[in-house]
Amino acid sequence: MFSKLKLITGNSNRPLAEEVSRHAGIPLGDIELFKFSNDESFVKINDNVRGADVFVIQPTSYPVNDSLMDLLIIIDALKRASAQRINCVIPYYAYARSDKKDQPRVPITAKLVADLITVAGADRVVTVDLHADQIQGFFDIPVDHLYSIPTFARYFKSIMQMEDIVVVSPDSGGANRARALAKRLNCSMAIGDKRRSGNDDQSELLNIIGDVRGQTAILFDDIIDTGGSLIKVAQALQEQGARRILAACTHGVLSGKAIEYLEASPIEKLFITNTIQLAEYKRSCKKIVQLSIAEMLAIAIKKIHIGESISLLFR
């Protein structure tokens, strides 16, 4: 049944790809991927992929442009090697926050990336927790959009008593995401009311809408980048009497001084998934707990291969 299923990975998150391979029971294909001295990338697929259903596991994480370019070159190599279908498993989709033209003379880079992947020859995309659901519509090929909410919900239920819990969205834009987790945990929710000022790394928090006093607050968002916005909400929660403050974010970008800010913040623990491979100094942060989505991806890959629905992954 799975004889035509091939798994290939680039360099952006090999540990995740290896874990997916173990769960799926499918070995990773043999691929050479390196840079010449002039900084140009080179790819060679050493396995026979003619007529195969190939899944390329390659988050477009740091270094973002290298990871994206490697993905495009891998797609082209597979297409020229006569792969029957090329499925791009992109757990973290870079440029997702550039999803609209909100200023004069700026690009919609999330759409550009979708076009590049499609034109390169991809037949399908599998991704996790897009920053904006409408990005699925940027593609002219099927997109399977998976969610980390079941993973977080199962974990929180296993380590905590589901009493005096409130799920907090850092802003109104993430309210639906927080509401979905709150529903699974059967708890209340609150929303941080903020507005941005200056560049994207600066924001001013105005208020917390909802009752958090004496409760364990779980800040829930899709991405933690520099951490500035999330930490400001955490400080406001502390001021409004939250008993404990935890945070859960699907994609741990953690750029700039994020680790330093996290260490000094009132956030007790930060739960992230392994969509992005963490550098050693980030993994050593005692506040960070990383949850794996490898089994979810392995199930999705096998079901897509045999043409079955993946809706069970949302339950």
Instruction: List, by residue number, the catalytic residues.
Output: 194
In terms of DSSP bridges, do strands 143-146 and 165-169 run parallel, antiparallel, or are they unpaired?
unpaired
DSSP 28: B
Triad 271, 277, 278: Cα angle to 5°? 65
247 contacts 269 by C-beta, under 8 angstroms:
yes
CB of 224 closer than 8 Å to CB of 249: yes
Q: ∠ CA 214-217-220 to the nearest 5 degrees?
A: 170
Half-sphere exposure in the Cβ direction for 180 (13 Å, CA): 15
Instruction: Collect all residues with Cβ–Cβ distance below 8 Å to 176 and sequence separation of at least 6.
Output: none
List beta partners, residue 270: 247, 288
Q: Are 209 and 194 in contact (CB under 8 A)?
A: no
Element (H, E) at 44: strand 41-45
